């Protein structure tokens, strides 16, 4: 019941929710690589970004804050970069506090699998590995809503 209302809640802000098993992610990351399958049991905030996307710049500090607050409760943040040139992503990251996983997918295949409709675009994946909600864009108004959604999912087992 809560999850359904959660989906509707986030969907109403103009997002496109792909409910169901989260498509596999196996990509190179800053520290080696990331495999979504290995994160089952955790709540994953999966974010797609690019260096040339302005609101993405605003979402990074918030994602770092979430990871700091809820990491010990089982939150994992995975930010997938879609820049076609790795150098652009690196320059962007140099100015950011990054305490979460940053992966790289220049081909955009993972975004394609998730049916990403805009950037930044994020998906909340529950401990069961299913997509529970998705969200497009990022501004101040969204922070509280997204954080509330994360807390709800963390409470599940």
Partner 1 sequence: MKAIIYLGVLFLMAGCSSMDTVKPWDKDILAKKSMQPVPDFFENFYDEHIYFSKEASSGGQSVGGGGCGCN
Partner 2 sequence: MQLANIKKELGIATCALLQVPAATVNAADSEWDIDTAVLFYSESDNGVSAFEPAIYASKDLGDGQLIDLRLVVDVLTGATPNGAPASSVLQTFTTPSGTGTYFAQPGETPKDDSFKDTRVAAGVDWTLPFNRLSRIKLGLNGSTEYDYQSLGVSATYLQDFNNRNTTFSAGLAFNNDTISPVGGVPTPLSNMRAAGTGTNRVGGDDTKTVTDFILGITQVLSRKTLVQLNYSLGMSDGYLTDPYKIVTVVDQNGLPATSAFTNGDLPYLYEKRPDSRQINSLYFKVVQSLTRDVINFSYRYFWDDWGITSNTFDLKYRYEIGRGYLQPQVRYYLQDAADFYVHNLKLGAPLPDTVSSDYRLAKMTTTTLSLKYGYALGDNSELSVRAGFMNQSVDDGDVLAGTETPDTDAIIVNAGYSFFW
Burial environment of residue 25 by CB neighbours within 10 A (0 to 12, 13 to 18, 19 or more)? buried
Closer residue to partner 2 (CB): 22 or 53: 53
Site membership for partner 1, residue 119 (CB under 8 A)? yes
92 interacts with, out of partner 2, partner 1, none, CB within 5 to 8 A per kind: partner 2
Minimum CB–partner distance for residue 53 and partner 1 (Å): 7
Select from 28, 52, 86, 99 the one that contacts partner 1 (CB under 8 A): 52
- How many chain residues interact with partner 1 (CB under 8 A)? 15
How far apart CA 41 and CA 74 sit, in angstroms, is 8
Site membership for partner 2, residue 52 (CB under 8 A)? yes
Tokens of 58: 């605003």
Cβ contacts of residue 8 below 8 Å, gap of 6+?
A: none
- How far is residue 127 from each of residues 37, 43, 57, 157, measured CA to CA in Å? 11, 5, 27, 7
83 interacts with, out of partner 1, partner 2, none, CB within 5 to 8 A per kind: partner 1
Closer residue to partner 2 (CB): 91 or 155: 91
Minimum CB–partner distance for residue 113 and partner 1 (Å): 12
Strand order in the sheet with 32-35: 20-21, 130-136, 121-125, 43-49, 75-81, 101-104, 26-29, 32-35
Site membership for partner 2, residue 57 (CB under 8 A)? yes
Residue with tokens 């040339």: 52
Q: Which residues make up the interface to partner 2 (CB under 8 A)? A: 13-14, 50-55, 57-58, 85, 87-88, 91-92, 117-119, 136-137, 139-141
């Amino acid at each position: 019941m809560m999850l359904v209302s959660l989906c509707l809640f986030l969907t109403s802000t103009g997002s496109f929710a792909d409910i169901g098993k989260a498509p596999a992610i196996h990509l190179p990351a800053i520290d080696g690589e990331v495999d979504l399958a290995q994160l089952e049991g955790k709540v994953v905030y999966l974010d797609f970004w690019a260096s040339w996307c302005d609101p993405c710049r605003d979402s990074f500090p918030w994602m770092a804050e979430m990871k700091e607050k809820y990491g010990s409760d089982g939150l994992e943040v995975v930010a997938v970069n879609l820049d076609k040139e790795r150098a652009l992503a690196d320059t962007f990251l140099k100015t950011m506090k990054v305490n979460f996983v940053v992966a790289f997918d220049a081909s955009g295949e993972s975004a394609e699998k998730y049916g990403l409709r805009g950037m930044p675009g994020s998906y909340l994946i529950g401990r069961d590995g299913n997509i529970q909600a998705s969200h497009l864009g990022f501004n101040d108004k969204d922070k509280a809503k997204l954080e509330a959604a994360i807390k709800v999912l963390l409470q599940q087992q």
